Amino acid sequence: MTLPPLGSTMRPVRPAPNVLGFYDGRVDGVRIWSDEPNWLDDGAYTLGICTYAIVDGSQALVYDTHISLPHARFIRRTLEEMGVTSIRVVLSHWHDDHIAGNEVFKDCEIIANRLTAAALERGRTDIEGGNPPIKPLVLPNRTFDNSLRLAVGAIPIELRQVEIHSHDGTVLLMPDAGLLLAGDTLEDSVTFVSEPERLSEHLVDLQRMAGWQFDRILPNHGSLQAIEAGGYDRSLIAATQTYIRKLLACRQDPDLARQDLKTFGADMFAATAAEYFAPYEAVHQQNVAAVLAAKADR
């Protein structure tokens, strides 16, 4: 297989005023790192990934640094060509496909919640030795707890810490725009279960998120068409809640655990913003296995 250069299939989009998206992946039959299993292709590119920048005048805030240094350079070059001279970075959580481009922004303020900073420090050896490696791993240089208010030019921003998908999530709320940048807390087709023993806690914070005021959602993993059209409606929260509850039910229902994703999520796909995407079949099987294994470990 001939692999295209990293970043060469990136598609910039403008999902909302003052918001740029940098979308890559979901290209039929294409991988960009290796034919062998690896986090970049299998955890990000095949499923589709979009990171974001909020821009007002000469200021920009980058929400996640993408899946490689070439991707991050593309983002920075695009912003600088727009006249941006001041860049800050916010990390949504500690997973590889969200922090791989940090080195490109090492001269900028890189903001993360304290749990993300600690997870990156703990995981440094594995991250730098991964496939592909992220080396050197550039750590955040500003941390916060619970929430943090910022401004990008005249645009107010609020970072909120949540435990959904991972213990260290940070989502970004643009209150004036009614927009939530959700990181991996919400995902289309379905959430990727990385901490199966904490799914009940994830449901608690999903319910908390459902009480917030916003109209549209921009996740990091979703369809290009939905993101380009302005994101997802709030039913993506309900889809995630439904899916997690059914995953937990697999512990008591072997027949449910054996279903493929198309069957398992049929009602959810029919009634919410989440859409069936075949590569998520593998994610679903991993999710079910992780949930059942977590039960066995108790």
256-265 pLDDT, tens digit each: 999 999 999 9
H/E stretch holding 61: strand 59-63
Asked if pLDDT for residue 156 goes beyond 90, the answer is: yes
Query: By three-state DSSP, how is residue 53 classified?
Result: strand
Which pLDDT value is given to residue 101? 98
263-275 pLDDT, tens digit each: 999 999 999 999 9
How many domains in the chain?
1
Mean pLDDT, range 101-126, rounded to an integer: 98
Please give the torsion angle defined by the CA atoms of residues 111, 195, 40 and 73, in that order, rounded to the nearest 10 degrees.
Answer: -10
If pLDDT is split at 50, 70 and 90, which confidence band does 82 have?
very high
292 domain-assigned: yes
We report the CATH number of the domain holding residue 175 as 3.60.15.10
If pLDDT is split at 50, 70 and 90, which confidence band does 178 have?
very high
1 domain-assigned: no
Rounded-to-integer distance, Cα 228 and Cα 39, Å: 25
H/E stretch holding 221: none
Q: Which residues contact 152 (CB under 8 A, 6 or more apart)?
A: 18, 54, 55, 56, 59, 60, 61, 88
Q: Which residues contact 3 (CB under 8 A, 6 or more apart)?
A: 31, 32, 33, 34
3 domain-assigned: no
Q: Are 142 and 96 in contact (CB under 8 A)?
A: no
4 domain-assigned: no
2 domain-assigned: no
6 domain-assigned: no
Handedness of CA 256, 259, 261, 265 (dihedral sign): negative
Residue appearing with tokens 């921009």: 218
Mean pLDDT, range 191-214, rounded to an integer: 97
For residue 163, the enclosing domain spans 11-297
33 domain-assigned: yes
Which pLDDT value is given to residue 1? 64
Query: By three-state DSSP, how is residue 9 classified?
Result: coil
